């Protein structure tokens, strides 16, 4: 039963208004609805790149495709190894595996849930072609340590920024950190057109190669079918871009609200016995807070799932966190390392624990009022004490 005494009527997601409506009509009335003849995708790319401090952005069909395309541009070939965190959404590893590469899972930090640079270092081999930090719930990975590792080893980084629209590291935009970053605009993400993705690039050559590959290898002005490289069709349509331009304009104020609410909520959650909220790193100077995450350290998966069900029954948009990728069938179908599940689990103890004891709340909760942060904590406390 939904709690009647507490206000849990959080803002809806996605949010939209007249700007999205105007955008859709604008795209419609162009009379041409693909990027080749329209202006919305071009304009969106320029605005998105500028917002994130990148010289170039390429809009694509989904966040998964964004990762796949970026890995290809970084030269990831069949048989190459891509280092990914074990605790992430499956697209991070699937993108590498779809290219015929091997996804090598490594452990994350127990507090921030972000990839552990020491574990990355230990996993680098002569075949490593890319390292993929995933900025978990908007908390940026240790980009200082990862940047140094990348420079020292010569292995490029690809940031999975599907949770990190608008994030900053030491004041710099996430796309200004010298490596490509891949974003998602799926329905639940921090800005959305239902589906969609983008990759930002620090470098013109990478961007041009990505453009070719996302459009069947065809140069922009080609009229004689001179396809230059292999590729696929990952082009975003004009309607999506028109909605995303309006969504981008909403992002700053939404981040401001979530950045005010999270410290309050985290403080309240930390005061509940058995609850540990996701840790932050001060060098992440802007955290857009894609999820409100917390752990119930030491509980079984069954107990965690029972708590999530009870939170939902009380009216909170609560979810069980990701299962470690090596604990899915999908991971083992193609491009898995030559190791047993137990061997990987043995070197990924934090991912192993997180996949059984971690819970997250939808970011729309963090768009709620201060009073609603107190209400969330009250429900969590009550559920843990009574269910
Ligand atoms: C959502 C997500 C993706 C993939 O994005 P889609 O647009 O759904 O394909 C990739 N990585 C992470 C970590 C995600 O959460």
What pLDDT is attached to residue 4?
61
How big is the CA angle at 122 (ends 163 and 277), to the nearest 5 degrees? Answer: 35
Check residue 260 and give its pLDDT: 98
Alpha helices in 165-324, H assignment, sequence order: 204-214, 238-270, 301-313
* Same domain membership, residue 290 and residue 214: no
Q: Is 91 in the pocket of ligand 1 (CB under 6 A)?
A: yes
Is residue 372 located within the same domain as residue 258? yes
User: Could you tell me if the CB of 90 is within 6 A of ligand 1?
Assistant: no
Residue 355 lies in a domain: yes
Q: Is the pLDDT of residue 3 over 90?
A: no
6 in any annotated domain: no
92 lines ligand 1 (CB under 6 A): yes
Q: State whether 143 and 193 are in the same domain.
A: yes
Same structural domain, 127 and 193:
yes
89 given a catalytic annotation:
yes
Is 237 found in the same domain as 294?
no
Task: Domain count for the chain, please give it.
Answer: 2
Given a contact cutoff of 8 angstroms between Cβ atoms, the answer to whether 160 and 134 are in contact is yes
- Provide mean pLDDT across the span 343-351: 98
Same domain flag for 142 and 185:
yes
Which candidate, 120, 126, 84, places its Cα nearest to that of 102?
84
Q: Give the structural domain span for 344.
A: 251-386
29-61 pLDDT tens trace = 999 999 999 999 999 999 999 999 999 999 999
Gyration radius of the chain's alpha carbons: 21
pLDDT tens sequence across 267-284 = 999 999 999 999 999 999
| φ, ψ dihedrals at 54, nearest 5° | -110, 145
Residues 241, 160 within the same domain: yes
| pLDDT at site 139 | 98
For residue range 281-338, what is the model confidence (pLDDT) as tens digits? Answer: 999 999 999 999 999 999 999 999 999 999 999 999 999 999 999 999 999 999 999 9
**The pLDDT of residue 347:** 98
pLDDT digits (tens, 9 = 90+) for 213-240: 999 999 999 999 999 999 999 999 999 9
Residue 156 has pLDDT above 80, yes or no: yes
Task: Evaluate whether 242 touches 191 at the Cβ level (below 8 Å).
Answer: no
pLDDT of the residue at 5 = 77
Choose the catalytic residue: 65, 168, 235, 258.
235
Task: Say yes or no: CB of residue 93 within 6 Å of ligand 1.
Answer: no
**Same domain for 330 and 197:** no
265 and 153 together in one domain: no
Taking 70 as the threshold, does the pLDDT of residue 2 lie above it?
Answer: no
Q: What average pLDDT does the chain have?
A: 97
Q: Would 261 be classed as within a structural domain?
A: yes
Same domain, yes or no, for 274 and 311?
yes
CA 169 to centroid of ligand 1, rounded, Å: 21
């Amino acid at each position: 039963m939904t709690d009647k005494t507490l206000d849990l009527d959080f803002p809806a997601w996605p949010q939209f208004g007249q700007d999205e409506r105007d955008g859709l009509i604008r795209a419609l009335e162009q009379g041409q609805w693909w990027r080749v003849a329209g202006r919305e995708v071009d304009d969106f790319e320029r605005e998105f790149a500028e917002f994130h401090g990148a010289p170039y952005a390429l809009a694509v069909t989904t966040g998964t495709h964004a990762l796949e395309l970026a890995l290809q541009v970084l030269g990831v070939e069949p048989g190459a190894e891509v280092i990914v965190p074990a605790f992430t959404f499956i697209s991070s590893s699937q993108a590498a595996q779809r290219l015929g590469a091997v996804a090598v899972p490594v452990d994350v930090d127990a507090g921030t849930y972000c990839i552990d640079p020491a574990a990355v270092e230990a996993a680098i081999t002569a075949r490593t072609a890319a390292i993929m930090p995933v900025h978990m719930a908007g908390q940026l990975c240790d980009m200082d340590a990862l940047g140094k590792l990348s420079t020292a080893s010569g292995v490029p980084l690809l940031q999975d920024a599907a949770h990190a629209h608008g994030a900053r590291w030491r004041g710099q935009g996430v796309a200004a950190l010298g490596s490509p970053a891949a974003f998602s605009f799926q329905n639940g993400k921090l800005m959305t057109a239902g589906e969609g993705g983008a990759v930002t690039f620090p470098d013109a050559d990478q961007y041009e190669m990505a453009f070719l590959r996302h459009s069947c290898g065809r140069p922009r002005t080609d009229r004689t079918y001179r396809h230059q490289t292999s590729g696929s069709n990952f082009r975003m349509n004009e309607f999506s871009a028109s909605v995303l331009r309006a969504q981008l304009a909403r992002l700053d104020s939404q981040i401001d609200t979530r950045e005010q609410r999270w410290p309050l909520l985290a403080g309240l959650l930390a005061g509940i016995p058995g609850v540990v909220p996701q840790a932050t790193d001060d060098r992440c100077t802007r955290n857009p807070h894609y999820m409100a995450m917390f752990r119930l350290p030491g509980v079984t998966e069954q107990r965690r799932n029972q708590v999530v069900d009870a939170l939902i029954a009380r009216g909170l948009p609560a979810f069980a966190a990701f299962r470690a990728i090596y604990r899915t069938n999908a991971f083992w179908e193609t491009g898995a390392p030559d190791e047993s599940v137990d061997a990987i689990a043995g070197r990924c103890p934090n991912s192993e624990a997180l996949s059984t004891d971690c819970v997250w709340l939808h970011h729309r909760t963090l768009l709620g009022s201060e009073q609603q942060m107190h209400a969330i904590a009250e429900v969590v406390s009550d559920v843990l004490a009574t269910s």
